[in-house]
């Protein structure tokens, strides 16, 4: 089902005359169609079979080329300027002109202006005189993104809005518990080594800081998440 949110799921299968089968804790990522090949054994009375782990994350439903950047990767990978779009260069089929910005990455040899961006299912692609624009309408902070998926080629028609790459972002959500974070990412020439033929190190200072908070509005039904 394409309407399911990202996260961890469990699956139970049962039929008369067969042992029940349970698949625990398999991940469903943004825009993913997951196929689980299961076999039910002829059962006896009061017998149970439990599968602890699901099959590897191998797409058996389509020949789509692309990849998912998870929240753990956005937290752990070093990113210049903390701009999420530079991580698109890690997706198979992505080609960057070098700057690592959103308007410099193209997919499968097509133009940057052929890319399409969605944020929580809503079109976020910039428009200029009825043509697709390289820049997005909304610049999303990296700390607000739970994960994103870039489909490079051979994707299905339900996600294709243009001829180029299809990038789908999913925002973080609040939970039943109030939680938040404060962060600062810095680059400083104090940590840089001097070049062998230079007498000094060029000064450089970059501080990227902010905070986020999320929690319940109506417990188990409605949540909020904010980031600055």
CATH number of the domain where residue 104 is located: 2.170.130.10
pLDDT at 170: 93
CA distances (Å), 161 to each of 64, 84, 90, 177, 205, in order?
Answer: 15, 21, 22, 37, 40
Listing DSSP states for 93-145 in one string gives TEEE-SS-SGGGEEETT--GGG-EEEETTEE-EEEETTEEEEEESS---GGGE
Tell me which residues of the chain have a pLDDT lower than 70.
1-2, 44-49, 51-58, 127-137
Task: Determine, yes or no, domain membership for 87.
Answer: yes
Q: Which of 171, 203, 218 is the last residue of a domain?
A: 171
Residues 189 and 136 in one domain: no
pLDDT per position as a tens digit, 18-27: 888 898 888 8
- For residue 214, give its domain range: 179-227
Residues 120 and 183 in one domain: no
Residues 114 and 157 in one domain: yes
pLDDT at 51: 67
Residues 165 and 190 in one domain: no
Task: Determine, yes or no, domain membership for 45.
Answer: yes
pLDDT at 140: 83
Task: Determine, yes or no, domain membership for 212.
Answer: yes
pLDDT per position as a tens digit, 31-41: 787 788 888 88
């Amino acid at each position: 089902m394409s309407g399911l949110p990202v996260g961890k799921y469990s699956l139970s299968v049962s039929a008369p005359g067969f042992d029940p089968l349970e698949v625990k804790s398999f991940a469903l990522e943004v825009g993913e169609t997951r196929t689980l090949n299961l076999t039910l054994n002829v059962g006896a009375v009061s017998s149970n079979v439990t599968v602890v782990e699901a099959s590897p994350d191998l797409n058996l439903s389509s020949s789509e080329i692309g990849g998912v950047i998870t929240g753990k990767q956005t937290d752990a990978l070093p990113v210049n300027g903390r701009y999420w779009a530079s991580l698109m260069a890690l997706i198979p089929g992505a080609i960057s002109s070098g700057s690592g910005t959103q308007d410099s990455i193209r997919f499968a040899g097509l133009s940057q202006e052929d890319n399409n961006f969605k944020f929580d299912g809503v079109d976020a692609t910039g428009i200029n005189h009825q043509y697709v624009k390289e820049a997005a309408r909304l610049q999303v902070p990296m700390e607000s993104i739970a994960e994103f998926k870039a489909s490079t080629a051979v994707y299905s028609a339900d996600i294709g809005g243009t001829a180029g790459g299809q990038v789908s972002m999913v925002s973080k959500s609040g939970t039943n518990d109030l939680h938040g974070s404060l962060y600062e990412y810095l680059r400083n020439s104090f940590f840089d080594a001097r070049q062998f033929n230079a007498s000094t190190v060029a000064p450089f200072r970059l501080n990227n800081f902010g905070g986020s908070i999320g929690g319940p509005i109506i417990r188990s039904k409605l949540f909020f998440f904010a980031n600055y």
